[in-house]
Amino acid sequence: MGNNEDRLTHFGHKGQAVMVDIGSKDKTFREAVARVEVLMKPETLGLVKSGGVKKGDVLGVARVAGIMAAKETSRLIPMTHNIAINSIKIDFKYKDPDTLLIQASVSTLGRTGVEMEALTAVSVAALTVYDMAKSADKDIVVNNIRLAKKEGGKTGSYFREGEDSWV
């Protein structure tokens, strides 16, 4: 294998799954931003925008679901650490005629990053949108879950090429 940067860190030397030891790492500020797209019929997006979905406030419920999911990441993804999260922010943007964009920003002052927390947050927020709006549109598609950027830690900053700034 190459250097340690190329090595998959969740496997021991015998191939067994391990949780990475972060005990000797310094605490630093870390932030991650993840994004996802939820594609739906234009009429369904109109219902989401206007609050006309029968189950209620789609974006409000999706925001709370995303926040709760980020806090539960270590219970859902086996090798993630239980981290003290400083902040979780879930934002929505409409891309007409048929797309809802969801972004999660998560930060911590800790020994490991919060990429998985941000990715889990947007995933569950998107699934919540599906659940809330599926009675109006069974063709909803959750698409392109991705890390848009990360700051901090040993590997420093990462910005996904082609991502625009979220305004």
Q: Which residues of 90-103 are buried (b: 16+ CB within 10 A; e: fewer)?
A: bbbeeeeebbbbbb
- The token pair at 84 is 């003290």
Which residue bears the tokens 């830690």? 153
Catalytic residues: 131
Cis status of the peptide bond prior to 97, with omega within 30 of 0? yes
* CA separation for the pair 51, 73 (Å, rounded): 29
Q: Specify the DSSP class assigned to residue 5.
A: G
